[in-house]
Structure formats: C-alpha cells, structure tokens
A and B are shown apart, each in its own frame.
Chain A
Amino acid sequence: MEAPDTIIEIKGITCRFGDMAAIDNLSLSVRRGEVVVIIGPSGSGKSTLLRCLNALEEIQEGEIIIDGVKLDHTHKQVHKIRLEIGMVFQQFNLFPHLTARENISLAQRVVRKRTRTEATQIAHDLLTKVGLADKIDAHPAQLSGGQKQRVAIARALAMNPKVMMFDEATSALDPEMVGEVLEVMKSLAADGMTMLVVTHEIGFAREVADRIVFIDSGRVVEMGRPENILNNPANPRTRDFLAKVLS
C-alpha cells in the first residue's frame, strides 16, 4: 500500500500556559515532502506549535497525528514518536562536551541502537553533506555559529526523521553565516524532506516554501502559496506583519 499523502495532521489543538492559549484551536495538515514556512509576529505561538508537534509541550485539546500515529502524552513511548521528527533550535543546543562526531552519533547509538562504526560512518556522511567533514573532531566551542547550526542539522538528520522542524534556525547567527545554513536547508528541501520552518527570512520562504502559514494569537490567520501570501495577503494582519518584516 502506498503511504498516505498526509504526514502531519493537526486537528483543533489548544495549548495553554495558565489561562493564556498560546495555540488556540489550530488545525493544519502537511503533505509528505511539503515545505511549510510558518510566519507570524513575536509571541504568536510559532515555537509553541513546533514544540507541541514534538511533544515538548502538552496540548489540552485536539489531536496530532504523525504518519498515522496519534501523539499521546501519556504514552510511555513518547520519546520514540518524538524521534520521527527532527528539531533544529535557534540556540543550536549542541552538546558542548562532545565533538561534532559524538554530537551526531550519540543518539544514533543510544536511541537507534546503531553500532559505533555505523553511527560514525553516518556522522561522517552527514557532516560531508553539510560541508563540515573537516570539523568532525571539533568541539562546539571551536565552531562558528553557522557551523554549529549545520552540525545541529546533521545531528537531527542522523535519526532519519520523517519531518524536520526549524525554529528560527538562523536568527541567532551573524548575517554572513545565515546563507550557509539556508543553503543546507534548501538542499534538504530539494531532496524531498518534509519541513516545517519558522523563519523571518522572507526570501527563503518565497524561494523554497510550498506553502506559507501566517499565524497570530495561536491561530492560522491565512495560508497559501508564497506568491499569494507575500504579494497579495488577504488579511489585514498579514499585511501589517509583512509590511514590517519587508521594510
């Protein structure tokens, strides 16, 4: 049987912090191989949405189905569902006491139960892919921001995730390093990876996104093809936001 077209199905989820709903009855579905760019003002719930998908935050209502498996917080094996999704953080969150190779191979060995040889081989291949084969034995402290983020991407990819999520992966970088990370993300998209990308890089969104989702106050305000959303936003809030980020 062919795999169904939809890989992520979000049905009316709500995620509250105290009384405040950071995600408010939000629905969204993502097709296999689709690149969805999520934009929205600060505090609109972009990070929270990604974190819910990775079970880093708990949802109070609705449901999330990832590749046919319902995400269940009470589930003891939540960490297994979690590893189907790769996550790249704004602050990289590399493990400072481990080299690039160890950063990439650790979870492969303890979670995916690969042998050291296998894991190292994969680490090497992925570092080559992100252009850092020569940094395999470097510690994070010896890497630039852009290099750290590329190692972090390789680390997430090593788990063979079905989906990759990026939460402002370039926001903490010096401007001259943004490009190298975006290049890696573009090549992933070109390889057919399903991607959820929170970013303020409108150029990237225009070029790579299959769909742009604008969210505000934890709700999807508007979504569509990049050219439609970016050139002819229907909603005034989208227009305001774009006017600000594009100016």
Chain B
Amino acid sequence: MDWLATQFAILADIFYYLIQVVHWTLLISIAAYALAVICGLVFGIARIWPSRPVRLMAGAYINVLRGVPLLVLIFFVYFGLGQIINLDRFVAGVIAVGVCYGAYMAEIFRSGIQAIDYGQHEAAKALGMTRWQTLRHIILPQSVRIVVPPGANEFIACLKDSSLVSIIGLRELTRAGREYASQHFLDFQTWLMVGLIYLALTLTLTRVVRWVEQRVAISGYGSARHNH
C-alpha cells in the first residue's frame, strides 16, 4: 500500500510540474496549424491554378516540405535561418511546423477543390464569374465539408509533432518532461505521464473533430443557412 501511495504522489507531482507548460504545447500547435491552413489554402489553390509557373512553384513547395524530416526543418529554421535573422524559439518552431503541415494541408485542399463537379465551374463561368469569384463563392464553400475531416485530423498530428520543438529548447510538454526526468531520475513515471497528457489532449481533440464533422454533415445541402 505504501508503495502505491508513493507512486501516486510521484505521478501527481509530475502532473503538476507538466501541466504548467501544457499551454505552450497548445499554443505552438494552434499557431502552427493556423499557419498551415493559410499555407495550405494558398498552395492548394496554386497547385491547380491555370498558370504553369504558379503550379510548379506550389508543387515544389509541397514536395520539398513533405520530403524533409520535420526535425531537420526545425533545425534549419532555428539554427540555419537563425544565423541570418534572429528568430526566437517559439516563432522558429511555429514556422517550421506550420510550413511543414501547410504542405499536407495543401494536398487536402487541392483534393477538396478537385472533388467538386466540373459542371459547377462551367456554370459559374457561363454566368460571367471570374476564376477567383468561382473559387470563393462556389467551390470553396462546397469543399469545406470534404476538407474538414482530414484537415482537422492534421491538427491532431500537428499537436503530436509539436513535441519535436522541444529540441530547440522551447519549454513545452516534452521539454519539461526531459527536465523532470533528468532531475529526479524518474524516467518511467515521467514519460508515462507525458504520454498520458498527450493522449488526453488528442482524445479530446478527436471528439471535437467528430463533433465538427457531424455539424458539417448535418448542415448539408437543404438545411444549411448561408448568409452572404
């Protein structure tokens, strides 16, 4: 019984220690994801833009960023670019994770746009709408429901990968875990607790994603209210 009580006390102590930095994990993830959505939209649209140079540029971005390990990208941004411009750890981490996930998001947006029947483009064209107007008023609103489920899942992946940013010294969950473990020599309990906190976050997010998915599905054609 004593042993169990001690273990609980240790775990509680670790939990208390870690929970104080958990907001950094969330902040990096949210900021990086926001950047990823923006990059994804821009490059996803560019990927299928009629102009060939634009398409090639977007293709290069997507292939390069998907082909480089995120860890290497983080080093490159923080240490490499850091020699030219002074980036703090948070900004460097957000940029690295954001542009990396932007490449994945771009592919998701691209397929969401391409999933829309070509007749929709033609009808809009025939009404005299420009490409941009068509995209904004016709295609993207319909792509949303296709893009949301995989797009939201990327947030969960992004949250997990934010742990890599610990390597450049940003005190988020994983970094704090390393500190605690090395100070108290309690690796088993520490990493168990770090894992449990990540798990709690991702499971919660999974439920949120399900909920959003259902909302998007329910507000399907025929009951959605669109206000222009």
Binding site for B on A (CB under 8 A): 54, 56, 79-80, 82-83, 85-87, 89, 91, 93-99, 102, 106-107, 109-111, 116, 139-142, 152, 155-156, 159
Contacts and interface: CB of A to CB of B under 8 A. Distances in A.
B128 A141 contact: no
Contacts, number: 78
Contact residues of A: prevailing secondary structure: mixed
A109 B123 CA distance: 16
B137 A110 contact: yes
7 contacts: A56-B125, A79-B129, A87-B126, A95-B123, A95-B142, A97-B141, A156-B126
Contact of B126 (A80, A82, A91): A82
Contacts of A152: 123
Contact of B125 (A79, A94, A99): A79
Interface of B: 117, 119-120, 122-130, 133, 137-138, 141-142, 220-224, 226, 228
Contacts of A107: 124, 127-129
A10 B228 CA distance: 39
A79 B132 CA distance: 12
Contacts of A141: 220-222
B129 A110 contact: yes
Nearest to A105: B228
A111 B126 CA distance: 11
Contacts of A54: 125-126
Contacts of A116: 228
A97 B133 contact: no
B138 A95 contact: yes
B35 to A, nearest CB: 27
A86 B126 CA distance: 7
B122 A93 contact: yes
Contact of A79 (B120, B123, B128, B141): B128
A165 to B, nearest CB: 9
Those 5 A-B pairs whose CB atoms lie nearest each other, nearest first: A83-B128, A93-B123, A107-B127, A87-B126, A93-B119
Nearest to A109: B228
B87 to A, nearest CB: 41
A91 B118 CA distance: 11
Contacts of B119: 89, 91, 93
Contacts of A106: 127, 137-138, 228
Given A82-B128, A111-B128, A93 B120 contact: yes
Given A54-B126, A79-B125, A89-B119, 16 more contacts: A80-B128, A82-B126, A82-B128, A93-B119, A93-B123, A96-B221, A97-B226, A106-B127, A106-B137, A107-B127, A110-B137, A111-B128, A111-B133, A139-B222, A156-B126, A156-B127
